[in-house]
Amino acid sequence: MLVSDGLPPPARTHAMAAIILGLVLAVLDGTIVNLALPGIARDLNATAAQAVWVVNGYQLATLALLLPLATLGDRIGYRRVYFAGVAVFTAASLACLLSGSLWALALARVVQGMGAAGIMSVNTALVRQIYPKAMLGRGVAINSLTVAGASVAGPTVAAAILSVAPWPALFVLNIPLGLLVIFLGYRVLPHNPAPTPEHPAPAAPAPLDVLLNIAMFSLVFLGADLLGARHGAAGGSLAQGLGLLGAGLLLGAFYLRRQWHQPAPLMPIDLLRIPLFRLSIGTSVCAFAAQMLAFIALPFLLLDGLGRSHLAAGLLITAWPLAIVVVAPIAGRLIGRFHNGLLGGIGLALMALGLGLLAALPAVPSDADIVWRMLLCGAGFGLFQSPNNHTIVTSAPPRRSGAASGMLGTARLTGQTLGAVLLAGIFSLLGAQDGRGAVVALALAAGFAAAAGLLSLLRVRHAG
């Protein structure tokens, strides 16, 4: 289906159903396995450190391939990349289900992450084609709400499945749901506009640039992981982590120099030269770093610092995503009525305030004291995310929608990795058992949210 300004309502509904379902599968599987790692290690005769690669393999493959597959979408069509991603993801889920050893499972998870990269790299570009310009804010809000909800739902969904079935059941539903995504979207997901002399198809990236992109993100991720909470930040792990991180940054400098003068680079430097785009990406990285700091720190604060039970802690934290669910659609309707930078700045100020108040909780807080602070954080994040994503999507030329979509996902994963590494450093210095480290992490998260808010407000200068 070729489209000039969005799809008609029936096709739009079916297309968005395919986008939402595929995005839920890709984002959810990034965290759904975490809770099952002890059981996986036990059943497959592996150590805990080895079992972590069931998670790491997925995340690393996704992060490393987002930009190459986004560029491929600009070149051959977003729907092709999306359907290929769903097909690979579904087949890899079957391989995960049938895995008989840890390394077979880890390899299947790497392939599954490659499929997830295909889904996440172009989903926002497809939303831009599915919705008319006047309604794009609504589509971006639905997309943002899906990512936010799926990001925090993994442990809950995993707990529900593992309470009635062994860990392979975590991959069972991916197979029929993946086939359903292809069925729903095959007839209605739009094709890219045909190339014209004025807007030719982008040139294929050099194989060396693709390899450099994968190597850069891989080294940075592995270095960050060695500095992270899973391995500790002491002894050899610290030196190895810093070495890998430094190697990744040096390789990245060489890679970016190669990309600098290309008209449609794999790493979209051309888009980062646009002030609105650059500020929005920076805002996203800081905001997701704040969110990740808080999401990992809060269980330690509630369980160890405040003595809440696991059930009580889970229910209290649920207030955050519930607020996102309520506020994100409202934020989508406000896009176009108010400047996106202003909406994002207000939302991030609320988030920073909520995080600061969580860090300053009284010694013996009531559940109500915790819940209203959680609601403030979630409402602020919900108000920020949709307008910020809308700016990222619309500030890029239509022919570079795939690159913008890939950068949106890359910024989210980069911010989350940064938050996890910073939290590991805090816990290694202050400990995690008495809640002190969690309080410092929440205060730092408030600082990141405030910095993101300032970046968002700077975008108001570039209105129009």
Tokens of residue 233, six digits: 């930040």
Amino acid identity for residue 332 in this structure:
G
Mean pLDDT on 99-123: 93
Tokens of residue 121, six digits: 């790299």
H-helix or E-strand spanning residue 151: helix 136-162
Cα torsion 76, 79, 84, 85: sign: positive
Does 169 have pLDDT greater than 50? yes
Task: Say if CB 288 and CB 349 are below 8 A apart.
Answer: no
H-helix or E-strand spanning residue 332: helix 310-334
Q: Per mean pLDDT, which range of 114-118, 157-161, 270-274, 289-293 is the poorest?
A: 157-161
* Residue 335 DSSP SS3: strand
What per-residue confidence (pLDDT) applies to 232? 41
Task: Say if CB 448 and CB 290 are below 8 A apart.
Answer: yes
Tokens of residue 109, six digits: 């998870």
Position with higher pLDDT, 464 vs 398: 398
Q: How confident is the model at residue 399 (pLDDT cuts 50, 70, 90)?
A: confident
Quick one: CA torsion of 448, 451, 457, 459, rounded to 10 degrees? -90
Nearest Cα neighbor of 288 from 142, 423, 449, 149 is 449
Task: Say if CB 140 and CB 332 are below 8 A apart.
Answer: yes
Q: Terminal CA-to-CA distance of the chain, rounded, Å?
A: 32
Mean pLDDT on 223-233: 60
Nearest Cα neighbor of 276 from 399, 67, 458, 449 is 458
Q: How confident is the model at residue 230 (pLDDT cuts 50, 70, 90)?
A: very low
Q: How confident is the model at residue 231 (pLDDT cuts 50, 70, 90)?
A: very low
Residue carrying the six token digits 């990740």:
292
d(CA 352, CA 335) in angstroms, rounded, equals 22
Strands (E), 54-143: none
Mean pLDDT on 176-189: 91
Does 204 have pLDDT greater than 70? yes
Q: Which residues of 281-318 are buried (b: 16+ CB within 10 A; e: fewer)?
A: bbbbbbbbbbbbbbbbbbbbbbbbbbebeeeebeebbb
Task: Say if CB 233 and CB 227 are below 8 A apart.
Answer: yes
Does 382 have pLDDT greater than 50? yes
What per-residue confidence (pLDDT) applies to 195? 65
Half-sphere exposure of 132 (CA within 13 A, CB side): 4
Task: Say if CB 21 and CB 145 are below 8 A apart.
Answer: no
Phi, psi of 8 (to 5 degrees): -65, 160
Cα torsion 20, 396, 148, 87: sign: positive
What per-residue confidence (pLDDT) applies to 109? 94
Average pLDDT, the chain: 85
* Residue 185 DSSP SS3: helix
- Contacts with 230 (C-beta within 8 Å, 6 or more apart), sequence order: 49, 52
Tokens of residue 44, six digits: 């497959």
What per-residue confidence (pLDDT) applies to 332? 84
| High-pLDDT (> 90) share of the chain, % | 31
What per-residue confidence (pLDDT) applies to 197? 65
d(CA 292, CA 418) in angstroms, rounded, equals 8
Residue-wise pLDDT for 14-66, tens only, equals 999 999 999 999 988 887 887 787 788 888 888 766 787 888 889 889 989 99
Does 141 have pLDDT greater than 90? no
Q: How confident is the model at residue 196 (pLDDT cuts 50, 70, 90)?
A: low
- Contacts with 105 (C-beta within 8 Å, 6 or more apart), sequence order: 40, 44, 54, 96, 99
Q: How many whole angstroms from its chain centre is CA 220? A: 17
Q: Per mean pLDDT, which range of 56-60, 377-381, 412-416, 458-462 is the poorest?
A: 458-462
* Residue 132 DSSP SS3: coil
Nearest Cα neighbor of 436 from 359, 353, 362 is 359
Does 3 have pLDDT greater than 70? no
